[in-house]
Structure 1
Amino acid sequence: MEFKQLEAFVQISKLQSFSKASEALFLTQPALSSQINALEKEIGTQLFIRSTKKVFPTKAGINFYGYAQKMLALRDQSLCEMGNYSKECAGEINILASSVPSQYMLPQLIADFNKEYPNIIFRLYQKDSGGVFEELIQYQYDIGFVGTETESYRYKLSSLCKDQLVLILPKDMEYTGKQSAEEASRFITDKSFIMREQGSGTREALKGFLSKNGILEKDLRVIAYFSSTQGIMEAVSQGLGISFVSRVAAKVYENMNRINIVEIESEQLNRDIFYVQKKDMILTPAQELFVGYAKKCYQNVKS
């Protein structure tokens, strides 16, 4: 069994395509197929089901993926340990993140990281928090970032930073009351309200705030459900209604003078942004570098 065979197997599993994997590895498709055939012969079982559109792992392939990923990660770690975590470190990081991290945190973080480690390639995918927990376990994703917790035994969560939900209003609407949860609750119940979709970490935090103040979703005048924070802020700026979104996201539209922000005094509107790792997964040096860099950056922000 050779490392190049394991690399071929992992890339095909992630990309679900022989042609895309051959491009990523700079190999011809016949050469890639030859490596997989040799690996299947050595293991003694078929690893992929080939279809006209996608390639799917067999049950044996699913079981073997974890071992292959760990062997490659250990190889890379040992090579780095013999030298240093240098700027020459290369690799690929596939991230699945919910809307706030993917749109308003990770782009800047990746840009800053790239200045120090230019040879590491990123693939960033977006789902709501529920979707991240459902799909992160799949091969094409390495690590995740979300705005809510899970009880799933499949993942390890680490708090990366604190976030706060704020009330956002159209520019021509003023909030003149106190910033208490009680007054804010009375204010929002008779206004047109824009809600995030099911599975959103923002929605889960908002539900806690509403419940604490005796408000059910049916008590709100919900006129629209949006699948992204960006969509909600654009709708609010156009006067469609009011909503709650992450403060880090809202500041973008506030700086453009398109919405008003109200910070409500309530613990229920505070939450953590979490880094998510598959349980028992061994990070590659590139992944480990980025995770450590992200944690260090936000520790500096806290201090």
Structure 2
Amino acid sequence: MIVDPLKTFVTVAEQKNFSRAAEELFLSQPSVSLQIRNLENELGAKLINRSPKHLELTQSGEILYGLAKQILSLYDKAKQEINQLTNTVTGSLKVGASYTIGEYILPFALTEFAAQYPNVDIDASIANTVEITQAVRSNHLDLALIEGEVHHSDLEIQSLMDDEIILVVPNQHPLARLPIVTAEQLQDQVWILRESGSGTRAFSDKLIRDWNIHVKKSHIFGSSQAVKQAVMAGLGIALVSSWIVRKELTANELTAIRIKGKRLIRSFSIIRPRNHEMSMAMSVFLENLRSHDLLTGLIDSNPSVIG
């Protein structure tokens, strides 16, 4: 079918690597190379300039890439409209999430969705908020669930649910003996932070800046799991989503401390390209996510961990 080599070409163009494209498509690399070569023969033009360390589209390749994306989108739309006649939800769903949501919420949402709609192919990606947002803006993802704030006119942004941020410290830390701390007591502490681009990092930076907190030293980690483990190991203190430390707090492996006069709340949001027509799979997934008992159940299982 003509869409198969076009899909292969688009994947190679986006991955900028034949081997990675082959892995994503579950094909052998020779098969990918053959499909590209057949496309070039059919069109009578070289599409890709390839060297051992570099791959880039030719001018002809750039033209085909843009049109191939449209063709594949129209083909998916045709399949969806045909399947609507039998009330069957099919197609693909490329969904992304920032780390906290991706590790603690998205798997439950996708498991239930996949059970209800087994004919939908799901491709899930997890990265920090900035990376996931860019993937949606460049149409590599259909939609995403993110933490933190984004402001882009080309995105439609909808609130999904609230998330409580809490201060966690090692059990042996001097602050662990205090039920409530003030901003003054957070001065000159060693902090464990996420990397730049993380929604949690942006939240922590803003609080530290707004409260004029002097950071004695900071250690930066690239995932929420690593931050949590660093605090448990006694390396420092951190602001984290309550979702990631429920089990550790229940097992008394960490201490959560209330900050005087403050309950720290941020929003989890759904983002998708503005003015892009939604596929049936996207529409149903969003409807389930926003209105289904799934979120209610998850929220009920994650009450405020510090009272």
Tell me, yes or no, whether TM beats 0.5: yes
CA distance in 2, matches of 1:224, 1:91: 43
Q: Which runs of 5+ in 1 are unaligned?
A: none
Distance 1:236 1:134, change over 3 A: same
* 2:253 aligned partner: 258
* 2:166 aligned partner: 166
* 1:124 aligned partner: 124
Q: Does 1:208 align with 2:210?
A: no
CA distance in 1, matches of 2:286, 2:53: 34
Q: Counterpart of 1:83 in 2: which secondary structure?
A: helix
CA distance in 2, matches of 1:281, 1:90: 18
The offset of 1:57, in angstroms, is: 3.3
Structure 1 counterpart of 2:194, from 193, 196, 200 = 196
Q: Counterpart of 1:240 in 2: which secondary structure?
A: coil
* 1:143 aligned partner: 143
The offset of 1:246, in angstroms, is: 0.7
Opposite residue 200 of structure 1, the aligned amino acid is S
Q: Does 1:133 align with 2:136?
A: no
Opposite residue 103 of structure 1, the aligned amino acid is E
Q: Counterpart of 1:125 in 2: which secondary structure?
A: strand
* 1:271 aligned partner: 266
* 2:112 aligned partner: 112
Q: Are the equivalent residues in 2 in contact too, given 1:99–1:229 (CA < 8 A)?
A: yes
CA distance in 1, matches of 2:109, 2:164: 19
* 1:36 aligned partner: 39
Q: Are the equivalent residues in 2 in contact too, given 1:93–1:286 (CA < 8 A)?
A: yes
* 2:303 aligned partner: none
Q: Which piece of structure 1 moves more, 118-127 or 243-252? A: 118-127
What's the Cα RMSD here? 3.5
Opposite residue 35 of structure 2, the aligned amino acid is L
* 2:219 aligned partner: 224
- TM normalised by structure 1 equals 0.78
The offset of 1:18, in angstroms, is: 4.4
Q: Are the equivalent residues in 2 in contact too, given 1:229–1:245 (CA < 8 A)?
A: yes
Distance 1:295 1:142, change over 3 A: same
Q: Residues 46-70 of structure 1, C-alpha deviation per residue, up to 9 Å, x if partnerless? A: 5433333564334564565454334
Structure 2 counterpart of 1:286, from 281, 284, 288 = 281
Distance 1:299 1:116, change over 3 A: closer
The offset of 1:234, in angstroms, is: 0.6
Distance 1:20 1:197, change over 3 A: closer
CA distance in 1, matches of 2:158, 2:282: 15
Q: Does 1:176 align with 2:178?
A: yes
Q: Which runs of 5+ in 2 are unaligned?
A: 301-307
Q: How many residues align?
A: 292
Distance 1:254 1:148, change over 3 A: same
Q: Are the equivalent residues in 1 in contact too, given 2:18–2:33 (CA < 8 A)?
A: no
Could you say which structure has the greater relative contact order, defined with CA pairs below 8 angstroms and 6 or more residues apart? 1
Q: Which piece of structure 1 moves more, 124-133 or 85-94? A: 85-94
Distance 1:192 1:74, change over 3 A: same
Distance 1:60 1:150, change over 3 A: farther
Opposite residue 266 of structure 1, the aligned amino acid is K
Distance 1:15 1:289, change over 3 A: farther
The offset of 1:118, in angstroms, is: 3.0
CA distance in 2, matches of 1:59, 1:249: 47
CA distance in 2, matches of 1:87, 1:25: 29
The offset of 1:280, in angstroms, is: 4.4
The offset of 1:131, in angstroms, is: 2.7
The offset of 1:10, in angstroms, is: 2.8
CA distance in 2, matches of 1:160, 1:250: 21
CA distance in 1, matches of 2:256, 2:87: 41
Percent identical among aligned pairs is 22
Q: Are the equivalent residues in 2 in contact too, given 1:93–1:120 (CA < 8 A)?
A: yes
The offset of 1:228, in angstroms, is: 1.5
Distance 1:294 1:86, change over 3 A: farther
Q: Which piece of structure 1 moves more, 225-234 or 168-177? A: 168-177
Q: Counterpart of 2:182 in 1: which secondary structure?
A: helix
Q: Counterpart of 1:257 in 2: which secondary structure?
A: coil
CA distance in 1, matches of 2:287, 2:256: 32
Q: Residues 141-197 of structure 1, C-alpha deviation per residue, up to 9 Å, x if partnerless? A: 44333212223344332222211211112234425344xxxx431232243322222
